[in-house]
Amino acid sequence: MAATSIHSRNPGMAALAAAALRLLAAVAVVAPALLAGPAAAGAPPFSCGPSSPSHALPFCNAKLPAAQRAADLVSRMTPAEKVSQLGDISPGVPRLGVPGYKWWNEALHGVAISGKGIHLDQGAVRSATSFPQVLLTAAAFNDNLWFRIGQATGKEARALYNIGQAEGLSMWSPNVNIFRDPRWGRGQETPGEDPAVASRYAAAFVRGIQGSASNTRSAPPAVLLTSACCKHATAYDLEDWKGVSRYSFKATVTAQDLADTFDPPFRSCVVEGRANCLMCAYTSVNGVPNCANADLLTKTFRNSWGLDGYVAADCDAVAIMRNSQFYRPTAEDTVAATLKAGLDIDCGPYIQQYATGAIQKGKLTQQDVDKALKNLFTTRMRLGHFDGDPKAGVYGNLGAAQICTPEHKNLALEAALDGIVLLKNGAGVLPLMRGAVASAAVIGHNANDFLALLGNYWGPPCAPTTPLQGIQGFVKNVKFLAGCNSAACNAAATPQAAALASSSDEVILFMGLSQQQESEGKDRTSLLLPGNQQSLITAVANAAKRPVILVLLTGGPVDITFAQSNPKIGAILWAGYPGQAGGLAIAKVLFGEKNPSGKLPVTWYPEEFTKIPMTDMRMRAAGGYPGRTYRFYNGKTVYKFGHGLSYSKFSHRLVTGRKNPTHNTSLLAAGRTATTEDNRGYHVDHIRDEVCEQLKFPAVVKVTNHGPMDGKHTALMFLRWPNVTNGRPARQLVGFQSQHIKAGEKAHLRFEVSPCEHFSRVRRDGRKVIDKGSHFLEVGKHEVEISFGA
């Protein structure tokens, strides 16, 4: 994660909400001034300027490699100075000209105020671009969009640093955990339930926020724009469920599930995105806390994946390991276990407090500390903090004028527009015709609440538009009623809402959840809409002149079977937590200025799914256990992964560019060493890289837009096996492509299919294999068979 806003070290939810309101109130006053140009502000902290006492020392020589410079700096520090650097608030070392640094900063969907180093409550800049919460952005299935959001967020963070309103550029984002259980309070922060989607999101966002020039696999820039940290490895997706807390949860996870579900996004962060940091989770997996697991932190992160950066602990995870998990008998033993396992920094003061004692007692060596510090200071070197005044550096042009720019505001709108999912459109209720709606009733607690746009880990938005304001831009006569006292809806104005509905041409309900139901530290126990929401919606639908429109603002899925089957509820949209432009985006979709193209990145389960314990980490179905996510779940659904309607009708046809003999010949070239023990497949790790390259083949999806509207269409390509024995998924996402297609026209969407990556499955022992025999590529209802022979 990044740090917990509900933990004792951080503000309570009530205080945070109060701060939010104060910040949002200031936005309208401060934000317009930002566009006029750079404002006078403080100077950013840095080292190695002309007046620095260390100006002539090797660690100030920007021509040397960052790791060499870091080693030189660490060698000059005293033992006490070294230990002082092992927490998220790292003090300065004045005698060496080293400024203090705050490692904990957040940038989940825009620069956020949840950490310690970003200051939007003081200074010239009081807001930042607030993009949609990640789950809604994931619904766009567009990694170029994800890259550009990361890029914009990184630029705004660097700009804040340059004007003295940030004390760190290590951004503890993104969250790429798998949204395994629909009740998880933090699922909203993630790219969803599919490892392939989460992996592509991870790489794209990391490349953007760290300053890569393009969304391609390449070395990050010599000076990082910011440092990304992918969290929370691994198998973390429970907050507080029926008395089971994330701080003490002991997860049992199979090697198969780790290899094909939980770990791939983190691998992609490092291998594809070149992330500078990984964060270990609170969870104890198979008896070992993640932050003390040398197999994970060193063997996997560094040796296998090649992490070039640092490993951070989730906030207070080291203290929790001792005080709640009782993993080691003393504080010194605990600190020694984490640093020796490969941890580099603690979010919190625990290591700073006990590392010296651990050294004195012989449980930890100075070399263990030096190893961590070299990783940390290498990161600060790569951020340019030891290259003199950053205003004279490669990002020196970034300032107040680069925050909340028109480009970034438009990007926030684009992300919301592309993510909104049309779940139902009975009898063509939508789109509404602008100018044809004489009066509209807007009903719902989420209709006029700025906080409902933001989800969690937010920064104060620079130009927020609520759904009510969005509708008012399209309809002159709009009447509003909240209907519920809050998302909990334990008090509802049902008679008044029904009366308003009966007197209006159109009725639009904005219902759903809030951070009081789903958030960090808070899981749900029910998938139904809270309180009196369902009865209010039904009463309004019964009273309205024509079928009503239901817009859901939620993170996780809800069971709305009642609305799905009710003809008086004509249309349903899921808008997630859509960010600062969410109100305008929703209105544009409702009135046909945007043809909806979003697709659900998670399965929507029925309420009966809540009988399954959240603590059961198994992905695959077994006996009466139905499994999890579209890849393995065999039960009923409310809406399936990938569901999303359009105002137009699209058709697909899938064509592959190579025939089966090529695959057979290339696999035969791999030799007998690649063949599995039972001679039924091939070990992927025994197939040479050049053979994997030879196996790749193109696939083209021919898409036709039959109208009546122009629109963007996203094609999802899946792989299906002939059976689901031995833990095979029911199907598995290969990739996704999208394109805007005019009504009546066709487009060819091109995919590159890699059998080593896309056709492989993970066995029970965690090894990847490609089965011999038939595989089926699917797009929509069309499929093509691909066969791998002996």
DSSP assignment of 588-624:
HHHTTSS------SS-B--GGGGGS-TT----S-BTT
4-46 pLDDT tens trace: 332 333 333 344 444 454 444 444 333 333 322 233 357 898 9
690: confidence class by pLDDT, cuts 50, 70, 90: confident
Question: What pLDDT is attached to residue 181?
Answer: 98
The domain ranges of the chain are 64-402, 420-611, 650-788
3: confidence class by pLDDT, cuts 50, 70, 90: very low
Mean pLDDT of 205-226: 94
Question: What pLDDT is attached to residue 665?
Answer: 52
Closest CA to 234 of 222, 219, 251, 248: 251
349: confidence class by pLDDT, cuts 50, 70, 90: very high
Residues annotated as catalytic are 314
Q: Is the per-residue pLDDT at 264 higher than 80?
A: yes
Q: Is the per-residue pLDDT at 187 higher than 60?
A: yes
**CATH of region 420-611:** 3.40.50.1700
Average pLDDT, the chain: 92
Report how far apart the first and last C-alpha atoms of the chain are (Å, whole number): 45
Q: Is the per-residue pLDDT at 79 higher than 50?
A: yes
405-414 pLDDT tens trace: 999 999 999 9
Residue 650 phi/psi, 5-degree rounding, is -115, 145
77 in Cβ contact with 93 (< 8 Å): yes
Q: Which H or E element spans position 413? A: helix 406-419
Question: What pLDDT is attached to residue 409?
Answer: 98
651 in Cβ contact with 706 (< 8 Å): yes
SS3 214: coil
Tell me the fold of 64-402.
Answer: TIM Barrel (3.20.20)
**What does each C-alpha distance from 356 to 51, 82, 320, 361, 443 come to in angstroms?**
32, 10, 19, 9, 60
Question: What pLDDT is attached to residue 664?
Answer: 53
Which single residue is written with the structure tokens 């390991």? Answer: 321
Which single residue is written with the structure tokens 């992609």? Answer: 268
Q: Is the per-residue pLDDT at 141 higher than 60?
A: yes
CATH of 650-788, one of 3.20.20.70, 2.60.40.10, 3.30.1490.20, 3.40.50.800: 2.60.40.10
DSSP β-bridge partners for residue 625: 622
Would you state the torsion angle of the CA atoms of residues 764, 765, 766, 769, taken in this order, to the nearest 10 degrees?
-80
As to burial, measured by CB atoms within 10 angstroms (0-12 exposed, 13-18 middle, 19+ buried), residue 182 is buried
Question: What pLDDT is attached to residue 37?
Answer: 29
Q: Work out the number of other CB atoms within 10 angstroms of the CB of residue 214.
A: 11
Q: Is the per-residue pLDDT at 676 higher than 90?
A: no
Residues 26-60 as b/e (b if ≥16 CB within 10 A, e otherwise) read ebeebbeebeeebeebeebbbbbeeebebeebebb
pTM attached to this predicted model = 0.95
298-347 pLDDT tens trace: 999 999 999 999 999 999 999 999 999 999 999 999 999 999 999 999 99
576 in Cβ contact with 139 (< 8 Å): yes
